[in-house]
Structure 1
Amino acid sequence: MSWSTPEPLRRYLSDLVAVADEVLGTELCGAYAAGSVGLAAYQPGRSDVDVALVCAGPLDHGVAEELVPRLRHEALPCPARGLELVVYRQAVARSGSPEPGFEVELNTGARMDFRVSYGPAQRPSADGLFWYGLDRSILHQSGRVLLGPPAADAIADLAPDDLRRLVLDALRWWLARPVPAGEVPAPGAEDAVLGACRSWVRLRTGVWLPKVAAGRRLLDEAGPLVDADTADLVQRSVAARDGGVPPTGAAARAFQRRVLADLAAAPA
């Protein structure tokens, strides 16, 4: 791990891979940091730690049930808000499938609700089934190798039509979530705005960017989508990532709707 990473996170990722290796043994083919770590945008105190493990074949349920308690925050304390871990078998990782296709999903941390799912059938569809294909697309582009071959070799990207469908599904899912009423700042609304910026940038330019960089890229390139109010909203959202006042939920939702409409209207 030669990229710039806070030392507590560096130690944690090394320990996580060591535990995975102990439990999975020769079944472990690769381990990759995704999300903010993969995109070189990790913010201590704010970011999650996203990790994907790749195993040779279908994971025995007993092995999966051994891995989860070993990686829970109570056994291996996560220095971030929490760990979001997904285990894929090698065939799924290399397939470019838009389907979830995971063996194990684990969310655990001091400031994160615990969740464990042993396969997509245990994942409620209302929680969104688009995350996994999108995460693998980001991993293909920017996954940081903790163990194994380069991420681009181990994890395939999605076909353009599948990527577009999942991005639009994700935007619709976010729009369906409740927002605070009234014209008051809504903590988390900045991530809704910048997440929409990231979706726009990926479909319009072909690259996954961190949220803040995506916001700035949209301001530079979105043309008619960006009026004075939109520019102020995005800039306010960027500032909120460093402790500034977040935008209102209503403003964030209005922007998400504009981004969704712009992307849905674009030629496939």
Structure 2
Amino acid sequence: MSSPATDPFGAVPAEVRPYLTELVHRTRAVFGPRLTGVVAVGSLALGDYRHGRSDVDVTVVVEEPSPAEALRELAGVLSHERLPCPSTGLELVVYPAGIARTPSGAAGWLLDLNTGARLPARAAFDTADGPSFWYVIDRSVAHQDGIALYGPPAPEVIAAPRPAELFDAIRASVREHGDGAGHLADNRVLNGCRSVAYGRTGRWFAKRGAAARIAEAEEEFRPLIEAAVRSFERPRGAALPLPGPQVRAFLTWVRQRVEEYAAAAGA
């Protein structure tokens, strides 16, 4: 358990601090001694949470067995109707400790919950319901920079995926954003920047930090990346349009770079 002498919530933005405090309280009430850890991930962990644009991303780790009724109870008590999310939405994933502590390219979750004013409601309990790459990348970010809101430091409860599995996930992410369905244009460009920045450095950066790195190094794409950052700095509903051919050309370039970095890593 986190030391009482420290305040783990001091590392998250004030706008979501009370919400996360109550989220941890409710999660502890549901799982009791089975709860191993609650970790803030995504933009919260990478230090670039933008209120009005970013989601709240949380990873929960529990010891098995974890009864199905407990997972359903958690989905209920954390729903936006019962605990209003102050951000665009909550994306919360529950993993069994055995999966979380093991380097893996599997989805492996027990509950995948999306809830909030601007997120389509989702409470899934079967990993066959979607692709695995989101979860592999999120666990990589969590291992690197996750903020432990409850329990031991994040790297002690969430393992880093193996390079081959992680690069498979990055490839899948690039394909997903290349297709574009369901994604804002700025997010497609900035996620591409993050993938290339990871390939070059072996570290995850926040979207705007990755964008700054790639824009500085790649003059050809600098205007597009800077436009994507300007759009990202607006509320989600006020995102700016970006030129489709330029976005597609950039993501083709991203795909090529990722393949090069994967090959260099033996992945």
TM-score between both structures, scaled by the size of structure 2 = 0.89
Q: Which residue is equivalent to 2:24?
A: 17
Q: Which residue is equivalent to 1:183?
A: none
Amino acid at match of 1:177: G
For residue 69 of structure 1, give the secondary structure of its aligned residue in structure 2.
helix
- 1:196-250 Cα deviation digits (max 9, x unpaired): 00001112210100000001111334xxxx233x111111111222237442233
For residue 84 of structure 1, give the secondary structure of its aligned residue in structure 2.
strand
Q: Which residue is equivalent to 1:265?
A: 260
Structure 2 counterparts to residues 194-205 of structure 1, below 5 A: 194-205=190-201
Report the Cα distance in structure 2 between the residues aligned to 1:3 and 1:210, rounded to whole angstroms: 19
Report the Cα distance in structure 1 between the residues aligned to 2:87 and 2:103, rounded to whole angstroms: 30
Q: Does structure 2 conserve the Cα–Cα contact (< 8 Å) formed by 1:101 and 1:119?
A: no
Report the Cα distance in structure 1 between the residues aligned to 2:55 and 2:244, rounded to whole angstroms: 22
Q: Does residue 234 of structure 2 align to residue 227 of structure 1?
A: no
Pick aligned residue for 2:102 from 83, 95, 108: 95
Q: Which residue is equivalent to 1:182?
A: none
Q: Does residue 263 of structure 2 align to residue 256 of structure 1?
A: no
For residue 20 of structure 2, give the secondary structure of its aligned residue in structure 1.
helix
CA shift in 2, pair 1:70/1:240, >3 Å: same
Q: Does structure 2 conserve the Cα–Cα contact (< 8 Å) formed by 1:236 and 1:246?
A: no
- 1:76-133 Cα deviation digits (max 9, x unpaired): 0100000000000111001011100001110000111001111313x13xxx321111
Q: Which residue is equivalent to 1:131?
A: 134
Pick aligned residue for 1:238 from 212, 217, 229: 229
Report the Cα distance in structure 2 between the residues aligned to 1:21 and 1:89, rounded to whole angstroms: 15
For residue 77 of structure 1, give the secondary structure of its aligned residue in structure 2.
coil
Structure 2: which 5+ residue stretches go unaligned? 1-7
TM-score between both structures, scaled by the size of structure 1 = 0.89
Question: Aligned pairs, how many?
Answer: 252
For residue 229 of structure 2, give the secondary structure of its aligned residue in structure 1.
helix
Question: 1:2 Cα deviation (Å)?
Answer: 5.0
CA shift in 2, pair 1:177/1:74, >3 Å: same
Pick aligned residue for 2:71 from 64, 71, 77: 64
Amino acid at match of 1:147: Y
Q: Which residue is equivalent to 2:173?
A: 170
For residue 203 of structure 2, give the secondary structure of its aligned residue in structure 1.
coil
Report the Cα distance in structure 2 between the residues aligned to 1:77 and 1:66, rounded to whole angstroms: 16
Q: Does structure 1 conserve the Cα–Cα contact (< 8 Å) formed by 2:9 and 2:21?
A: no
Structure 1: which 5+ residue stretches go unaligned? 180-186
Q: Does residue 195 of structure 2 align to residue 188 of structure 1?
A: no
Question: 1:252 Cα deviation (Å)?
Answer: 1.5
For residue 86 of structure 1, give the secondary structure of its aligned residue in structure 2.
strand
Report the Cα distance in structure 2 between the residues aligned to 1:4 and 1:31, rounded to whole angstroms: 14
Q: Does residue 43 of structure 2 align to residue 36 of structure 1?
A: yes
Q: Does residue 206 of structure 2 align to residue 206 of structure 1?
A: no
Question: 1:145 Cα deviation (Å)?
Answer: 0.9
Q: Does structure 2 conserve the Cα–Cα contact (< 8 Å) formed by 1:58 and 1:103?
A: no
Q: Does structure 1 conserve the Cα–Cα contact (< 8 Å) formed by 2:9 and 2:17?
A: no
For residue 139 of structure 2, give the secondary structure of its aligned residue in structure 1.
helix
Question: 1:170 Cα deviation (Å)?
Answer: 1.0
Amino acid at match of 1:227: E
Amino acid at match of 1:260: R
